[in-house]
């Protein structure tokens, strides 16, 4: 499969603190790649670097032929990358409808895109006029994903989408990631829950000290549970 | 009635009420309401940036003053007609806001507040520096014969009231249309979470610059109208208190509500006026400022209406209020 997105020897950090050190990674078209690692390993920084929120001091980030690291942050979504950050970050004062509308307007998408996105999250139709800050955690996560999908991205970045959700919602989010994969969306998933990873991911990249130590097929992870223990500390 | 119709009806009712008030208000209040309507346009402009986009500026007096001098000085020194002078005043405010925005919008939060205050002070000092033209704090009075447009004599109280009402109505309806448009929604999104808005592909710098420019134009329209309707321009209008006043008016009336700026301006004018009156009548020997009473009233307002008058009305009773 061709690479949808590639990070090549990227150094990045915050002020004087370097977080990513020669970080390399490739995301194949149509796959779900999971970044696993301990807290502070650099997973979220890798996503922020892709989005241009953290500027790399060395290396490149490419989406096909487009060098994302050369674009201003607001141009990255237009190139086809959508990001759902940790903690949802909705526009809490706006309604569900207005949140979705802002997502649609960003790339001037029409009602067909809205309907297609709402088909993935039918509960949002019932909450359409409700202020988004009053939704449950799971519904907020769905809205955050719906808003990102309004951009019709080719690559979706999800940062701990199941954090703090109840099991039924986690299952729902997992199903959504699987149906997005079926639609051909390539996804990078940052997760702490290994069980969630095994059920949806194709490959897993182990992140440690700002480096991608190893990228393996999920099938190998099932055969060698010691791998997870080595990099994440839990089996 | 649909939500859209309800919103339109409410705002048109406010305009109709002000129109009708002209026929019943005593002369004294007639003058105050004219002044309030003009200054409410200043507050509406400020609300766009502060209430909707979430940027706290402490330099908006410079845009008001740009409009005031931009319109008033050509009339006073150059004999310009009222119409071209008014438009020139608005253009001055818009251009100044765009220029200041290009620099100040590189900052945010407290830094933005300080940078705008700094630019505001520069504008005030410039008004003093060019005292030969502006006569500084003392100011200039535009003669009555210069404040005539065709058959309209702007010194006539009734004409002045209707011109102020026309300007206020235009600003109110423009503000309503703006905040309910895509542009308005984007401003709220920026206020709620600028980084997230950028991550959806919006150029937040350009959007904020556009908001500041429109805000500057509205504030300048108020300044220009003030100079032409009331015939006075002075450097005091460019000083820091005139940057804090619209903030106060908007906070009292309700930030990010369309009617709030008018309600806040009206309330603060009458609160100050009634406090003065109360002190002068009942305690003529007391050497205390009416601002003490105003301050107490504001404390009570914050306790019982923390989101301002219209903000609280929206939170408690009318969730559809824009």
Cβ B201–A106 below 8 Å, yes or no?
Answer: yes
Average pLDDT, chain A: 88
In this structure, the answer to whether residues A51 and A7 fall within a common structural domain is yes
pLDDT confidence of residue A33: 94
pLDDT over threshold 60, residue A1: no
How far A223 CA sits from the closest chain B CA (Å)?
A: 38
Beta strand pairing status for A17-28 and A3-14? antiparallel
Do A23 and A74 reside in the same domain of the chain? Answer: yes
Are A129 and A97 a contacting pair, CB within 8 Å? yes
What is the number of domains present in chain B? 1
Percent residues over pLDDT 70 in chain A: 97
Instruction: Tell me what pLDDT residue A3 has.
Output: 65
Total domains present in chain A: 2
CA distance B262 to B254: 10
Among the listed ranges A170-174, A192-196, B228-232, which one has the minimum average pLDDT value?
A192-196
pLDDT at A165 over 80: no
Whether B322 maps to a domain, the answer reads no
Closest CA to B39 of B238, B261, B216: B261
Question: Which range is least confidently modeled, A183-187, A223-227, B52-56?
Answer: A223-227
CB distance A77–B188 less than 8 Å? no
Q: Give the per-residue pLDDT at A87.
A: 76
Contact: A83, B199; criterion CB under 8 Å: yes
Q: Where are the beta strands (DSSP E) in chain A?
A: 3-14, 17-28, 32-36, 58-63, 66-67, 81-84, 155-159, 186-190, 203-208, 211-217
The percentage of residues in chain B with a pLDDT greater than 70, rounded to a whole number, is 99
Mean pLDDT, residues A93-122 taken together:
88
Secondary element (H or E) of residue B149:
strand B148-149
Q: Do residues A99 and A212 both lie within one domain?
A: no
CB contact (8 A) between residue B200 and residue A77: yes
pLDDT at B239 over 80: yes
On whether the CB atoms of residues A45 and A216 are closer than 8 A, the answer is: no
**Are B142 and B76 contacting, i.e. CB atoms less than 8 angstroms apart?**
yes
pLDDT of res. B7: 93
Per-residue pLDDT for B283 more than 80? no
Does the pLDDT of residue B254 top 60, yes or no? yes
- B253: containing domain: 3-316
Which carries the bigger pLDDT value, residue B306 or residue B289? Answer: B306
- The pTM assigned to this predicted structure is 0.86
Measured between beta carbons, which residues in chain B are less than 8 angstroms from residue A102?
185-186, 189, 197, 200
Tell which A residues from 23 to 52 touch B, by Cβ distance under 8 Å: 51
Please give the pLDDT value at position A37.
87
A135 and A165 share a domain?
A: no
Domain boundary (A152, A172, A194) is at A152
CATH of the domain at A213: 3.40.50.300
Q: Is residue B294 scored above 90 in pLDDT?
A: no
Among A78, A81, A14, CA closest to A47 = A81
Contact A9, A58 (CB under 8 A): yes
Is the residue at B60 inside a domain? Answer: yes
Measured CA distances, B70 to A41, B116, B181, B227 (Å): 58, 20, 30, 10
Chain B hits for A93, Cβ within 8 Å: 188, 192
Q: Are residues A75 and A10 part of one domain?
A: yes
Contacts of A113 in chain B (CB under 8 A): none
Q: How confident is the model at residue A39 (pLDDT cuts 50, 70, 90)?
A: confident
Secondary structure of residue B151 in the 3-state scheme = coil
pLDDT value, residue B119: 97
Q: Which pLDDT belongs to residue B278?
A: 79
Quote the percentage of chain A above a pLDDT of 90.
Answer: 48
Has residue A197 got a pLDDT over 90? no
Q: Smallest Cβ distance to A89: which of B185, B193, B201?
A: B193
Q: Are residues A10 and A52 in the same domain?
A: yes
ipTM: 0.79
Sign of the Cα torsion B249, B252, B256, B262 reads negative
CA dist B220 and A22 (Å) reads 53
d(CA B172, nearest CA chain A) in Å: 22
The nearest CA of chain B is from the CA of A78 a distance in Å of: 6
Average pLDDT, chain B: 92
Instruction: Report strand pairing: B232-233 vs B140-141.
Output: antiparallel
Residues in a beta bridge with A14: A17
In a domain, A85, yes or no: no
What is the percent of chain B where pLDDT is above 90? Answer: 73
Where residue A88 falls among pLDDT bands split at 50, 70, 90? low
């Amino acid at each position: 499969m061709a690479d949808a997105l590639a990070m090549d020897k990227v150094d990045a950090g915050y002020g004087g603190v370097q977080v990513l050190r020669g970080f390399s990674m490739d995301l194949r078209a149509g796959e779900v790649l999971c970044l696993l690692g301990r807290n502070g390993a650099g997973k979220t920084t890798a996503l922020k670097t892709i989005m241009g929120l953290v500027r790399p001091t060395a290396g490149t980030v490419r989406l096909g032929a487009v060098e994302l690291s050369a674009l201003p942050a607001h141009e990255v979504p237009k190139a086809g990358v959508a990001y759902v950050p940790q903690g949802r970050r909705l526009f809490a004062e706006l309604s569900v409808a207005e949140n979705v509308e802002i997502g649609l307007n960003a790339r001037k998408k029409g009602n067909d895109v809205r309907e297609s996105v709402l088909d993935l999250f039918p509960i949002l139709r019932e909450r359409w006029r409700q202020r988004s800050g009053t939704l449950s955690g799971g519904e907020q996560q769905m809205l955050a994903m719906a808003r990102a999908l309004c951009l019709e991205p080719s690559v979706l970045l999800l940062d701990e989408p199941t954090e703090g959700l109840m099991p039924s919602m986690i299952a729902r989010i997992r199903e959504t990631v699987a149906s997005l994969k079926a639609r051909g969306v390539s996804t990078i998933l940052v997760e702490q829950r290994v069980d969630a990873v095994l059920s949806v991911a194709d490959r897993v990249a182990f992140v440690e000290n700002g480096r991608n130590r190893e990228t393996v097929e999920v099938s190998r992870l099932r055969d060698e549970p010691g791998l997870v223990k080595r990099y994440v500390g839990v089996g | 009635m649909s939500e859209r119709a309800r919103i339109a009806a409410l705002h048109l009712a406010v305009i109709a009420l002000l129109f009708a008030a002209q026929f019943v208000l005593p002369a004294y209040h007639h003058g105050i309401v004219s002044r309030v309507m003009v200054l409410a346009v200043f507050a509406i402009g400020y609300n766009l940036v502060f209430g909707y986009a979430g940027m706290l500026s402490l330099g908006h007096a410079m845009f008001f003053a740009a409009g005031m001098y931009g319109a008033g000085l050509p009339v006073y020194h150059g004999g310009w007609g009222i119409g071209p002078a008014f438009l020139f005043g608005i253009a001055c405010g818009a251009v100044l806001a765009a220029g200041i925005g290009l620099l100040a919008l590189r900052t945010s939060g407290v830094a933005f507040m300080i940078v705008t205050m700094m630019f505001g002070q520069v504008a005030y000092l410039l008004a003093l520096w060019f005292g030969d033209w502006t006569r500084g704090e003392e100011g200039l009075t535009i003669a009555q014969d210069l404040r005539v447009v065709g058959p309209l004599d702007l010194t006539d109280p009734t004409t002045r009231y209707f011109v102020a009402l026309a300007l206020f109505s235009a600003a109110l309806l423009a503000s309503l249309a703006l905040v309910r448009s895509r542009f308005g929604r984007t401003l709220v999104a920026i206020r709620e979470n600028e980084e997230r808005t950028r991550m959806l592909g919006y150029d937040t710098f350009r959007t904020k610059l556009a908001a500041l420019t429109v805000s500057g134009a509205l504030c300048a329209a108020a300044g220009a109208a003030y100079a032409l309707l009331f015939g006075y321009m002075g450097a005091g209008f460019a000083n820091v208190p005139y940057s804090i006043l619209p903030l106060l008016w908007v906070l009292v009336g309700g930030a990010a509500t369309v009617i709030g700026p008018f309600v806040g301006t009206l309330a603060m004018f009458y609160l100050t006026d009634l406090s003065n009156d109360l002190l002068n009548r009942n305690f003529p020997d007391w050497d205390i400022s009416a601002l003490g009473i105003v301050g107490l009233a504001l404390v009570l307002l914050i306790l019982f209406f923390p989101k301002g008058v219209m903000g609280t009305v929206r939170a408690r009773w009318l969730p559809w209020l824009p």
